[in-house]
Amino acid sequence: MTSAADIANMVLGGLSAGTVLFIVSVGLSVTMGLMGFVNLAHGSFAMVGGYIIVLAMNRAHVDLATALVLGFVGTAALSVVFERLLYRRLYRAGELDQVLFTIGLIFIFIATAILVVGPEGQTLQLPPSLDGQLNLGFVQYRTYSIFLIGVGIVIVAGLWLIFERTRIGGQIRATVDNRRMAESLGINVDRLFTITFAFGSGMAGLGGGLGAEFLGLDPQYALKYLVYFLIVVSVGGLGSVLGVYCASLILGVLNFVLTFYLPKGGTIFIYALTILILLLRPQGLLGRKEP
């Protein structure tokens, strides 16, 4: 019999893991929707941000909030350098050259992480205020997981406001729908892309740090979770923030449920479901653009 604690574990644990997945992947969805750029190295920026946050807390002993800001800004700044120097040369290249380039980048990031930090995994030391259990009335659960779910909701709401209510959000939506038309209307797609790329990488960095708890943090991070990032982005729909959020939460909860009931090989259903959804809706759950 599954107890209330088990159900809470599956739902809340799954939601918080899904939230992390969302924070990491949302930038990938938007940049891929904007430019059609297959950026497999997105997870590497999550890893960089994760390292900045974890090392800042563990070695420099700054508090969580400062570390998160450092991680976001540091990753975003690094990604702008990469985007301006390297990525932009490949916008017009075929997707296979982009795949080669971004896999090469993943390798470089892996080797650099091993050389600079070391091959072992890093752990996030939570501040005491987030480390305990929180009584929700009907069930007790880890404060940190509930904190993460809350952060996720705030981020989704914020991104939704940016996308639907600001000028730059409108420009992004227009460009995702039809890039040529947007360009001929005078939208500077190049600059737009740099901004979203930096912002998306910064978010990925946040996700890398916040998720170091569940996903771990080691040099192989980008390769290990690449499939999950891609599933979430394609199932959610390119360029759709809400789609990525839904897909991430479904994947997170499903993963926890399957690990509970079928500890061995339950992930087979995740792949089966992905195939089913993509066959029925090739553009993803909430995607508007034909991929």
Beta strands in the chain (DSSP E): 133-135, 140-142
Residue-by-residue DSSP string for 28-51: HHHHHHHH----TTHHHHHHHHHH
Residue 140 touches other proteins, criterion: CB under 8 A: no
- What span, in angstroms and rounded, lies between the C-alpha atoms of 87 and 85? 7
- The DSSP bridge partners found for residue 133 are 142
Question: Residues in contact with other proteins, total (CB under 8 A)?
Answer: 47
Binding segment (CB under 8 A) for other proteins, from list 72-80, 82-90, 135-143, 175-183 = 82-90
When the beta carbons of 1 and 280 are compared against other proteins, the nearer one is 280
**DSSP symbol at 137:** S
Task: Please pick, from the candidates 30, 54, 76, 106, the single residue that binds other proteins as defined by CB under 8 A.
Answer: 106
Residue 117 touches other proteins, criterion: CB under 8 A: no
Please give the backbone phi and psi of residue 134, each rounded to the nearest 5 degrees, phi first: -120, 135
Task: Please pick, from the candidates 4, 115, 154, 181, the single residue that binds other proteins as defined by CB under 8 A.
Answer: 115
Please give the backbone phi and psi of residue 141, each rounded to the nearest 5 degrees, phi first: -150, 165
Residue 100 touches other proteins, criterion: CB under 8 A: yes
Residue 181 touches other proteins, criterion: CB under 8 A: no
Residue 32 touches other proteins, criterion: CB under 8 A: yes
Kindly write out the interface string for residues 202-241 of this chain, putting x where it contacts other proteins by CB under 8 A and - elsewhere: ------------------------xx--xx-xxx--x---
Cβ atoms of residues 27 and 201 within 8 Å: yes
Task: Please pick, from the candidates 60, 77, 86, 154, the single residue that binds other proteins as defined by CB under 8 A.
Answer: 86
Residue 12 CB, nearest approach to other proteins (Å)? 26
Residue 272 touches other proteins, criterion: CB under 8 A: yes
> Of 144, 131, 132, 122, whose CA–CA distance to 59 is shortest?
122
Distances (CA, A) of 70 to 57, 236, 256: 10, 29, 31
- What span, in angstroms and rounded, lies between the C-alpha atoms of 204 and 157? 17
CA 97 to chain centre: 23
Binding segment (CB under 8 A) for other proteins, from list 139-147, 153-161, 196-204, 278-286 = 278-286
Residue 105 touches other proteins, criterion: CB under 8 A: yes
Task: Please pick, from the candidates 81, 93, 153, 181, the single residue that binds other proteins as defined by CB under 8 A.
Answer: 93
In this structure, is the dihedral angle defined by the CA atoms of residues 121, 113, 102 and 169, taken in order, positive or negative?
A: positive
Which chain residues interact with other proteins by CB under 8 A?
A: 32, 38, 86, 89-90, 93, 95-101, 103-112, 114-115, 119, 226-227, 230-231, 233-235, 238, 264-265, 267-268, 271-272, 274-275, 278-279, 282-283, 291
